[in-house]
Structure 1
Amino acid sequence: MQLTIDTSIFSKIPDFKLGIIYYNKTIVSASPQMLKGRLQLFQEQLYFELLDKDFTDFNGLAEWRSIWTTLGADPSTKPPALQLLLQQIKDRHYTPSFHSAEDLNTFFSLQYEIPTVIYDADKIAGDIMLSIGTAEDGYEGLNNQFNTLENILLLSDGYSPFGSPYVDSIRTAVTEETENIIQLLFIRPSLEQDQALQLTNACGKMFTSINGGDYQSSVLDRQNPNFILTKEVEQ
């Protein structure tokens, strides 16, 4: 399985970077109390920050809202998933614990101020393309609505679109039966390549310390827009 970033993205965002982590033979389960507590505490701390801050005061979110505008999308009507998370926290509707993979994905997004997504790799058909969505692109999302993805970063496989940093589809959702996971980190373009790789590896290490399994990771950019995923990871 190969993931490729379409060249149209680099024409609009020359420094675009995508962290990719492939987890092999993980065990997704109810989150340990340590992770539940850490996620809850982090959201409570952010709530008090949001009493005095606007969303644009968060550097990561401000950068991603700017990217949304560059792509032609409206962040006020279809914001990045990170903004939706912060809005819920501001309204004191904290994201509850779901399972160990999703909770970590939420934690990484809040900690690094970037959109993050996870997918069941065994539900993906063929190769993956990251492109910019058109008016014809859409799917049933985890928000229980049909979502159109025009001018929004869009992940598609050989079957159909299945994900984005706005909202993901039901088809490729990670469950407690999932063993192989693809996680994508929509890293701030302003971050240097070595810092982006450090961030990506830090996420991989923390994820496998809780869920087990192995991981392989990379940061894709204009010079390196492809990544090949293999089911067995060499140590």
Structure 2
Amino acid sequence: MLTISVSSEFSERVPQFRGAFLEVTVQNSATSPKLWAEIEASCEKLQADFTTETIKSRSSIAATRAAYKACGKDPSRYRPASEQLSRRVLQGKGLYSVDTLVDLGNLVSIFSGYPTGLLDADKIVGTSVELGIGRADEPYEGIGRGRLNIEGLPVYRDAVGAIASPTSDSTRTMLSPTTQRLLFIINAYDGDEQLLQESIDLALDLLQRYAHADEVRIVKF
């Protein structure tokens, strides 16, 4: 059973932050047409509500960018994943389908504007994870990014080191087709309790409908 805490160095700089995680057993698979249709509908709504110029003003994204600055990182050089996804959609480039778990995580992120972390819980070392701030020369391999400079980024660490950031999750805890236990993290940097709960509800609904979710544990922190 995993626990997550927030370090004082982070909470002092981003006091409004609220987070949640779902620890759940799952079955990963190729993305179904029904799930992809939901993703496309969410993308269409985003395009109706925002442009590439106005997306920065979305509360969830604006707060994430402000948190980056508070921690010491330029959000325009190291864009939060939720902003990366949103901008891609708004530029008309569309999204790539990876698998059920990754794609439904992206759907929650598009819906909320919050960066989400989807980790293989069996690859996490120890039983506790802490949210802190990246240090100079801290080793980190980002998925699809290679070696990533996480100094000044919000990062989650297990007993060995950094495992997730809102710019890119780590290759060390990345999902695979055989992932059986998922840690799904939702980062509400604006502290909006209602939107956070709606994001949790959506994540759980998607996991139950598309990933055979079982043994679900939900914790806010």
TM-score with structure 2 setting the length: 0.90
Identify the residue that residue 142 of structure 1 maps to in structure 2.
143
Contact 1:22/1:183 (8 A) holds in 2? yes
Q: CA RMSD in A?
A: 1.9
Identify the residue that residue 155 of structure 2 maps to in structure 1.
154
Contact 1:141/1:170 (8 A) holds in 2? yes
Identify the residue that residue 19 of structure 1 maps to in structure 2.
20
Q: How far does the alpha carbon of each residue in 1:34-93 deviate from its partner, in whole angstroms, 9 at most, with x for none? A: 111221233244345544742223222112111211222111111111111122223322
Q: Distance in 1 between matches of 2:79 and 2:30?
A: 29
Identify the residue that residue 211 of structure 2 maps to in structure 1.
211
Return the offset for 1:144.
3.7
Structure 1 letter corresponding to 2:163: F
Aligned length: 218
Q: How far does the alpha carbon of each residue in 1:177-222 deviate from its partner, in whole angstroms, 9 at most, with x for none? A: 0000001000143313x663453244223312221132110110xx
Contact 1:9/1:16 (8 A) holds in 2? no
Identify if the C-alpha distance between structure 1 residues 15 and 48 changes in structure 2 by more than 3 Å, giving closer, same or farther: closer
Identify if the C-alpha distance between structure 1 residues 55 and 110 changes in structure 2 by more than 3 Å, giving closer, same or farther: same
Identify the residue that residue 103 of structure 2 maps to in structure 1.
103
**1:1-235 to 2 correspondences below 5 Å:** 1-24=2-25, 26-47=26-47, 49-51=49-51, 53-126=53-126, 127-192=128-193, 196-214=196-214, 215-220=216-221
What secondary structure, in the 3-state scheme, does the structure 2 residue paired with 1:138 have? coil
Contact 2:108/2:202 (8 A) holds in 1? no
* Unmatched runs of 5 consecutive residues or more in structure 2: none
Q: How far does the alpha carbon of each residue in 1:135-190 deviate from its partner, in whole angstroms, 9 at most, with x for none? A: 12231211242101111111111222121111111111111100000010001433
Identify the residue that residue 226 of structure 1 maps to in structure 2.
none
TM-score with structure 1 setting the length: 0.85
* Unmatched runs of 5 consecutive residues or more in structure 1: 221-235
